[in-house]
Amino acid sequence: MKTITIDTITQAVIDHGDGGKTHPRLYAIYTSLVKHLHAFVREVNLTEPELQQGRDFLNRVSRHTQFIPDGEVEVLTDLLGISELVELLQDSNGAATEANLQGPVYVPNAPQRSLGDRLGVDPEGEPLFLSGRVLDVDGQPIANALIDVWQPNSKGLYDILDPSQPVGNFRGQFHTDQDGNYHFETVVPSGYSVPADGPSGEMLRLLGRDTCERLTFTSN
């Protein structure tokens, strides 16, 4: 049995397994991740108490809450710029349409709505009319294309964060007409902040970042 040292442990971890025969892409990601994580530990000379703090933080980030059912993992990757970097890489690879972040407050199976409908109820919101056209890479209209929309109200609150809003408020699925057109009415949304009472909000405070920092999630 080989003796593991500070100089050999990284490669020893990577060498476990079949070297990518089963899943080459996963092995490539795993290998790179191990190398970068080990380099990080060495660079900051991570202590055992700090490692435990990190474990506790990740455990808290992954816990489901009433307002963010899937936990704050997606919030965290957004705050670290990872989500946006992935989107930018996709755009740089020649994607036909600029990608947007889905964000942690997306809910599947939004209400089916007809073209021209109002997306939600907000008496204090400033009216906003949106329209567009969906085309393929050759510039031809795409009929019956799905437009899935979700947004906060004029106060920056999504329906799942605000019990006073009806379920499905400012969410909807539209389909383009035969010429690829869509249009609907909504209100001008306000940006929303990181949950202040969760681990992500705690991280922002400890870093001296604004706990009311706005997230730039955009509907696809």
Q: What is the pLDDT of residues 180-202, one digit of tens each?
A: 999 999 999 987 667 777 888 88
For residues 61-80, average pLDDT: 80
Q: What is the pLDDT of residues 40-49, one digit of tens each?
A: 999 999 999 9
pLDDT at 115 over 50: yes
Q: What is the pLDDT of residues 82-113, one digit of tens each?
A: 888 888 887 777 666 666 666 667 888 999 99
- DSSP for the chain reads -PPP-TTTHHHHHHHSSSTTSS-HHHHHHHHHHHHHHHHHHHHHT--HHHHHHHHHHHHHHTS--SSSTT-SHHHHHHHTTHHHHHHHHHHHTT-SS------TT--SSPPB--TT-B----TTSPEEEEEEE-B-TTS-B-TT-EEEEE---TTS--GGG-TTSPTTTTEEEEE--TTSEEEEEEE----EEPPTTSHHHHHHHHTT--TTPEE-----
220: confidence class by pLDDT, cuts 50, 70, 90: very low
For residues 140-157, average pLDDT: 94
Which tokens belong to 37?
Answer: 């994580």
pLDDT reported for residue 81:
85
- Asked whether the whole model's pTM tops 0.75, one would answer no
pLDDT reported for residue 103:
67
For residues 163-168, average pLDDT: 92
Q: Domain-by-domain residue ranges, the chain?
A: 1-46, 58-102+195-220, 105-189
CA 70 vs CA 24, 35, 63, 167: distances in Å: 29, 29, 7, 18
Q: Determine the topology of domain 105-189 in CATH.
A: Protocatechuate 3,4-Dioxygenase, subunit A (2.60.130)
